[in-house]
């Protein structure tokens, strides 16, 4: 059983006695900054010149400064810019301005684990990784609840890194649900594995392939969309509530029998072998290198693949179907406006 921490295990006054510089005000950045502020922590948000995020952070009543100025004030520097830019921001704007002994906090281990950021030995290197999107982290906190978090310490320069990371986790509401103790390596590799094989990559491809098979067999696209995509959320909600068994219990016996006999035909042993190969690329840094090299070149492959995904016929059908549900509109607003917070 993993080691877990709850509100009683942490001392909020530790983080309340420090200034936290939050670099980036996107999905995670806005949630960390606002939750810390509401927990009585002194927060300064660091953003680059001309940043589209300045107005939102200022309107929320936060102190907004340049990345350099914010870092100079920070006892804790939380790096919440996108993973692919963190190393450059660290090298150019963070490292030269760090207070002696300042702690560096991440919400994902990518840059530390793969060595793109190498902090000197006098800084604590810690992580509080919420297991949910930033908007849910904020929404749950406001509702008096919290999203579970992962906590870890890569470098304990002060000898006080654990009390500090737990205090920070408590301040963003992460100990209300509970924190799991892990390592930068485990967090990074399992996070990439989950999103590539199951949550994002596996799921998206499963839906697209199901849609292709039905429409190529002559069934109406709207029917295909309902059967392989729209109902997904309800199935996943049941799994979240009560496990795979509750989903099977709630569906018809026909669906349950089909699950048992056809699931293994689709997700056959090759799929497990493929997942192991993807895991190997994650573990040896092959995936990280490909991602970072493409990003450094202006993301040509990433942009091409994104355009291909958007052009898949299921997307046009999906837009028509979702327009039937007036209640979906609000949830889509941020996404269509391209705003994250
Ligand atoms: P976002 O893409 O939402 O963050 C964008 C923010 O970073 C914006 O405020 C943007 O401002 C700023 N930014 C972009 N480039 C720079 C730059 N060069 N210098 C300074 N600021 C910059 O990131 P996420 O919140 O998704 O991810 C942040 C971290 O959290 C990552 O490590 C990620 O893996 C982790 N994480 C994310 C989760 C999520 O819910 N999305 C879940 C758990 C962890 P501007 O207006 O200037 O572009
Ligand atoms: Mg991830
Ligand atoms: Mg059905």
pLDDT tens figures, 72-122? 999 999 999 999 999 999 999 999 999 999 999 999 999 999 999 999 999
Asked if CATH classification 3.40.50.150 holds for the domain at 4-182, the reply, yes or no, is no
In the residue annotation, 312 being an active-site residue is answered as no
- Is the separation of the CB atoms in 110 and 127 below 8 Å? no
Atom of ligand 1 nearest to the CA of 136: 40
Structure tokens at 315: 């997307």
Burial pattern 20-41, b for ≥16 Cβ within 10 A else e, equals bbbbbbbbbbbbbbbbbbebeb
Atom of ligand 1 nearest to the CA of 137: 40
48 known member of a binding site: yes
Asked if CATH classification 1.20.140.10 holds for the domain at 192-337, the reply, yes or no, is no
**Whole-model pTM?**
0.93
Rounded Cα distance between 15 and 42, Å, is: 9
As a whole-number percent, the residues of the chain with pLDDT over 90 amount to: 94
Ligand 3: distance of its center to the CA of 328 in Å?
21
Ligand 1: lining residues by beta carbon, under 6 Å: 24-29, 47-48, 51-53, 67, 80-83, 85, 89, 107-108, 129-130, 133-134, 340
- Is the separation of the CB atoms in 5 and 175 below 8 Å? yes
Residue ranges, CATH 3.40.50.720, the chain? 4-182
pLDDT tens digits along 244-292: 999 999 999 999 999 999 999 999 999 999 999 999 999 999 999 999 9
- Is the separation of the CB atoms in 180 and 130 below 8 Å? no
90 known member of a binding site: no
Ligand 3: distance of its center to the CA of 248 in Å?
13
Residue ranges, CATH 1.10.1040.10, the chain? 192-337
Instruction: Give the neighbor-by-neighbor strand order of the sheet with 125-130.
Output: 4-5, 179-181, 149-155, 125-130, 103-106, 76-79, 19-23, 42-47, 63-66
Task: Identify the nearest ligand to the CA of 258 by its number.
Answer: 3
User: Facing residues of 42 across strands?
Assistant: 19
Atom 15 (ligand 1) nearest CA: 81
- Reported ipTM: the value is 0.97
pLDDT value for 341: 47
């Amino acid at each position: 059983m993993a080691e877990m921490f709850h509100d009683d295990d942490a001392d909020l006054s530790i983080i309340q006695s420090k200034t936290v510089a939050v670099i980036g005000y996107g999905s995670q950045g806005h949630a960390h900054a606002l939750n810390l502020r509401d927990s009585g922590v002194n927060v300064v948000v660091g953003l680059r010149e001309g940043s589209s995020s300045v107005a939102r952070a200022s309107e929320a009543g936060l102190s907004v400064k340049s990345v350099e100025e914010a870092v100079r004030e920070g006892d804790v520097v939380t790096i919440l810019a996108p993973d692919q830019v963190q190393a450059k921001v660290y090298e150019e704007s963070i490292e030269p301005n760090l207070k002696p002994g300042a702690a560096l906090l991440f919400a994902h281990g990518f840059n530390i684990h793969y060595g793109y950021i190498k902090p000197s030995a006098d800084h604590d290197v810690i992580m509080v990784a919420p297991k949910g999107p930033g908007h849910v982290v904020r929404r749950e906190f406001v509702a008096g609840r919290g999203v579970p978090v992962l906590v870890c310490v890569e470098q304990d320069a002060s000898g006080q890194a654990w009390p500090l990371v737990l205090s920070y986790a408590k301040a963003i509401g992460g100990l209300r649900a509970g924190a799991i103790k892990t390592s930068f390596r485990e967090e990074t590799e399992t996070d990439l594995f989950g999103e590539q094989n199951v949550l994002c990559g596996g799921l998206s491809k499963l839906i697209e392939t199901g849609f292709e098979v039905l429409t190529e067999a002559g069934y109406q696209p709207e029917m295909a969309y309902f059967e392989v995509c729209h109902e997904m959320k309800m199935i996943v909600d049941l799994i979240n509530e009560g496990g795979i068994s509750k989903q099977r219990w709630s569906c018809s016996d026909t669906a349950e029998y089909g699950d048992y006999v056809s699931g293994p035909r689709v997700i056959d042993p090759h799929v497990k072998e493929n997942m192991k190969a993807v895991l190997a690329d994650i573990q040896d840094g092959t995936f990280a290198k490909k991602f970072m090299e493409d990003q450094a070149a202006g993301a040509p492959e990433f942009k091409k693949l994104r355009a291909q995904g958007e052009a898949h016929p299921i997307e046009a059908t999906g837009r028509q179907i979702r327009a039937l549900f007036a209640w979906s509109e609000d949830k889509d607003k941020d996404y269509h406006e391209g705003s994250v917070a």
